[in-house]
Amino acid sequence: MAQARLDRRDQITGWAFIAPALILLGLFMIYPIVWSLWMSFQVGKGMNLSFGGFANIMRLTKDPVFLRALGNTFTFFIVQVPIMIVLALLFAVALNDSTLRFRGLFRTAIFLPCVTSLIAYSTVFKSMFATDGIINEALMAVHLIGAPIGWFSDPFWAKVAIILAITWRWTGYNMIFYLAALQNIDRSIYEAARIDGVPAWARFRYLTIPMLKPVILFTTVISTIGTLQLFDEVYNFTAGNGGPSDSTITLSLYIYNLTFKFMPSFGYSATVSWVIVVVVGILSFLQFLVARDRRRSA
């Protein structure tokens, strides 16, 4: 009996300790999330709202800009995340080789982009990708292209520029996770494989990748979430309009425009926000499914 009473008192003490954090979390996270769910069923402009049931969801299916934003976001996700993950893996493996000279320098150089200021880097990239910018000049100088590429006037190249920019910025961030994981792998595993005649590509494919699987899964999910929320780069490169002609508009940018740029349509923009949540949920679930240990589940 005494033991049970003590337990309850311990519990109360425990809850008391985390109560301040819980209250703040509830107030600034849980309440807005629940409220936004409620909002997503409201229709109307500005403050003039009324309950609309599934009207917003119906509107989604007929909204060409939303469908455009959804398509663009998926394009960024499908193209950019795999490229970045593979690059980060390759960099990590290369930088983990103890015979490589200037490892620290390379490591820092590749990691640095993700701690630079967003505005600074997008401004620099914008000027680099300008029609008379350094990238066009360089490509023309080596005769790869005859005429300057309209990076921000051509729908295709605009997407390419944004993918290049976010890949530049986030590859090093993912690489650090892989490097940390690689450094925890017993070196003699690779030495044993070398002695046994396992070729380098097979050591990468059949040893490194399976051993890094949990980290790869983690970075993939994180990158998926990041890409689905892609906003800053597009906003800065296209002066906030996702141009040319909505070819780079993302879901997040559309939400922003719906809320703050056009006649505010809070209910509908909340609905679009929830689309991101649902898509992230589905994609993460799929990724966990794919990465699941097949032998164990069989």
Partner 1 sequence: MSHLTLKAVRKSYGSVEVIKGIDLAIKAKEFVVFVGPSGCGKSTLLRMIAGLEHISGGDLEIGGKRMNDVDPSKRGIAMVFQSYALYPHMTVRENMGFALRFAGVAKEQIAKQVAEAARILALEPLLDRVPKELSGGQRQRVAIGRAIVRNPQVFLFDEPLSNLDAELRVHMRIEIARLHKELQTTMIYVTHDQVEAMTLADTIVVLRDGLVEQVGKPLELYDNPSNQFVAGFIGSPRMNFMAAKVVEAGSGTVTVALTKQGNVRITLPLTAAPAIGSDVTLGVRPEHFGLAAAGDADLAVNVDVAEHLGATSYLYANTGTGEQLIIEREELRNELGKESLTVSIRAANSYLFDNSGQRLR
291 binds partner 1 (CB under 8 A): no
Smallest gap, in angstroms, from Cβ of residue 195 to partner 1? 5
CB 231 within 8 A of CB 162: no
Distance CA 240, CA 227 (A): 17
Please pick, from the candidates 115, 197, 297, 298, the single residue that binds partner 1 as defined by CB under 8 A.
197
Residue number, 86 or 202, with CB nearest to partner 1: 202
Tell me the torsion sign for CA atoms 130, 131, 132, 136. positive
193 binds partner 1 (CB under 8 A): yes
Smallest gap, in angstroms, from Cβ of residue 120 to partner 1? 42
Q: Which stretch binds partner 1 (CB under 8 A): 72-80, 118-126, 204-212, 220-228?
A: 204-212
189 binds partner 1 (CB under 8 A): yes
Nearest CA-CA partner of 135 in 162, 161, 170, 110: 161
> How many residues touch partner 1 (CB under 8 A)?
19
Please pick, from the candidates 127, 188, 277, 282, the single residue that binds partner 1 as defined by CB under 8 A.
188
Residue number, 142 or 195, with CB nearest to partner 1: 195
Q: How many CB atoms lie within 10 A of CB 121?
A: 18
Residue ranges of alpha helices (H) inside the chain are 2-25, 31-39, 55-62, 64-95, 103-111, 118-128, 134-141, 155-183, 187-195, 200-202, 209-228, 232-237, 251-256, 266-291, 294-297
Please pick, from the candidates 202, 239, 278, 290, the single residue that binds partner 1 as defined by CB under 8 A.
202
Distance CA 134, CA 51 (A): 52
Smallest gap, in angstroms, from Cβ of residue 192 to partner 1? 4
Please pick, from the candidates 1, 2, 120, 195, the single residue that binds partner 1 as defined by CB under 8 A.
195
Smallest gap, in angstroms, from Cβ of residue 181 to partner 1? 12
The token pair that represents 281 in the structure block: 């949920």
Which parts of this chain interact with partner 1 (CB under 8 A)? 186, 188-189, 191-199, 202, 206-207, 210-211, 213, 295
